[in-house]
């Protein structure tokens, strides 16, 4: 959780139980519970997942109530932990990305989150299948038309207050508001209503990394019980809802989910972060009409006054035959002004973008052709296709730093050419094997990566017996389970 967020919250003396004892199931018990959970998910018709701060601790974001949680340390009078990386550069965990795959595979029907770190949206969960009950530190919303704006920087306020930006919808222009709730703020119906509806429809509600103490959010999973649904809680600490659960798992969330994905034969997709920036090249004739005065600005796609947090500096150089000195821009707004003779030949501006802390790669390079003949042509290629191609390229070449132009537009007065660049700044790949648990699956009650398979399928042992297509056989004599 953002330390800044905790400081912005109004003072509340009673924040619930903190610093509670953590419990860990034994390896054997954990294996059995993971297998049971995987089978519940496999059989489910309407799976809803309910997440808390515990799924983001492996991302370097501290929780609130754990032994080293923010409120636990505050209550003990201890110094708060220092963030291991900037909040805006946190990347989704193995659990975040596994949930993306479960949604794509058709298992996950809806996701409810109490977190304000924005990692579910960054991971790729569709917005229409996500309820962010307590808001999103990187989201602004227009109170007039309802449009949401996802930012690459943390919004400066909480408590549904007006921010410094306005809605860009034609004819609107209303002042935007942050979306993060303070203690006294009611849960927004836009998030709460679909969350309640899906919990009532759920046959399984899987609670991951939450102490289930904050009301009314913590009561949502209980709404599944009336319709015969089951609750599963994966958390290291005991919760007030444990007695209502059909299955309690005391283990690290990432470890549990990795085991589930292995059992279901699902790959955990990599996380590819693509950041955007825009370059604005503006030109005008000098008063004597002998020169062209031009300005190159590197800025946020969210506006010239918005921060560009992933850029540390920009090294600018020019085509060799241009008599212009290279320079380094290291103070935002990043802007370069030059004068060129009117008859100047077309040339290239080369920019080396040096990234800030938290980016996996250190830099990327962009070349901008300058010909002083601004065309009215507008770049109309499919933006989504370009971004998808960029992601696929990044998976093949994990060095990151790949770039692509996704938008180009022209303004005639003053003469300006604006290009939006997409840049791969982080690539995170996850191991798809479970480690020790996988080896246990190889021997008992799990997936058997057999040397001999029927139609390429894996053998699965259930209750001591192997099931392959329509074949049931003795565990010890099965050629798939015991090929020797």
Residues that constitute the known binding site for Zn(2+):
142, 145, 167, 172
Angle between helix 94-104 and helix 253-263 axes, rounded to 10 deg: 30
Q: Are 58 and 393 in contact, with CB atoms under 8 Å apart?
A: no
Tokens of 299: 């800025």
Set 134, 198, 250, 302: catalytic member: 134
Torsion of CA 156, 160, 165, 170, to 10 degrees: 160
Told to judge if 134 belongs to the known catalytic residues of this protein, a careful annotator would answer yes
Question: For the sheet containing 47-51, what is the strand order?
Answer: 130-132, 108-113, 47-51, 204-208, 230-234, 247-249
469: alpha, beta or left, given left = phi > 0 and alpha = psi -120 to 50? left
Q: How far apart are CA 126 and CA 104, in angstroms?
A: 10
* Whole-number Å distance between alpha carbons of 90 and 101: 20
Binding residues: 142, 145, 167, 172
Question: Are residues 167 and 320 in contact, defined by beta-carbon separation less than 8 angstroms?
Answer: no
Q: Are 122 and 145 in contact (CB under 8 A)?
A: no
The kind and range of the H/E element at 390 are helix 383-396
Other C-beta atoms lying within 10 Å of the C-beta of residue 82: 7
Given the structure tokens 């209750």, which residue do they identify?
463
Cis omega (within 30 of 0) on the bond before 216? yes
Burial class (CB in 10 A: 0-12, 13-18, 19+), 58: middle
Number of Cβ within 10 Å of residue 399's Cβ equals 10
- Return d(Cα 236, Cα 209) in angstroms, integer: 8
Active site residues: 134
């Amino acid at each position: 959780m953002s330390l800044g967020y905790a400081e912005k919250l109004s003072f509340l003396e009673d924040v619930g139980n903190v610093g509670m004892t953590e419990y860990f199931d034994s390896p054997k018990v954990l294996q059995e519970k993971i297998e049971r959970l995987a089978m519940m998910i496999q059989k489910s018709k309407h799976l809803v997942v309910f997440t808390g701060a515990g799924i983001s601790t492996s991302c370097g974001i501290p929780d609130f109530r754990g032994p080293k949680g923010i409120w636990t340390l505050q209550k003990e009078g201890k110094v708060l932990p220092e963030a291991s990386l900037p909040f805006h550069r946190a990347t989704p965990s193995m659990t975040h990305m596994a949930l993306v795959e479960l949604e794509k595979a058709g298992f996950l029907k809806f996701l409810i989150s109490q977190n304000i770190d924005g990692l579910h949206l960054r991971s790729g969960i569709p917005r229409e299948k996500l309820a962010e009950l307590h808001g999103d530190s990187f989201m602004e919303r227009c109170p007039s038309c309802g449009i949401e704006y996802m930012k690459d920087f943390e919004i400066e306020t909480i408590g549904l207050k007006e921010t410094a930006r306005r809605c860009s919808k034609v004819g609107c222009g209303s002042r935007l508001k942050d979306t993060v709730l303070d203690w006294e703020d009611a849960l927004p119906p836009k998030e709460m209503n679909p969350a309640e509806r899906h919990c009532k429809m759920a046959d399984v509600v899987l609670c991951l990394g939450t102490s289930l103490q904050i009301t009314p959010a913590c009561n949502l999973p209980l709404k599944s019980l009336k319709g015969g649904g089951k609750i599963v809680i994966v958390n290291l600490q005991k919760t007030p809802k444990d007695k209502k659960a059909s299955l309690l798992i005391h283990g690290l969330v990432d470890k549990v989910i990795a085991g589930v994905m292995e059992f279901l034969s699902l790959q955990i997709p990599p996380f590819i972060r693509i950041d955007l920036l825009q370059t604005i090249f503006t030109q005008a004739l000098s008063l004597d009409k002998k020169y062209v005065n031009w300005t190159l600005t590197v800025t946020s796609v969210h506006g010239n006054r918005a921060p560009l947090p992933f850029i540390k500096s920009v090294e600018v150089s020019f085509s060799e035959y241009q008599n212009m000195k290279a320079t380094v821009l290291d103070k935002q707004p990043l802007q370069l002004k030059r004068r060129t003779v009117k008859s100047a030949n077309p040339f290239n501006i080369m920019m080396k973008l040096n990234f800030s802390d938290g980016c996996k790669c250190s830099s990327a390079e962009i070349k901008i052709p300058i010909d002083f003949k601004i065309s009215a042509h507008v770049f109309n290629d499919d933006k989504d296709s370009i971004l998808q191609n960029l992601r696929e390229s990044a998976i093949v070449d994990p060095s990151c730093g790949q770039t692509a132009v996704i938008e180009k537009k022209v303004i005639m007065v003053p003469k300006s050419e604006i290009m939006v660049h997409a840049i791969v700044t982080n690539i995170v790949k996850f191991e798809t094997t479970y480690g020790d648990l996988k080896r246990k699956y190889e021997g008992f009650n799990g997936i058997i990566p057999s040397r001999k398979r029927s139609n390429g399928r894996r053998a699965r042992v259930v209750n001591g017996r192997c099931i392959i297509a329509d074949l049931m056989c003795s565990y010890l004599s099965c050629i798939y389970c015991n090929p020797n």
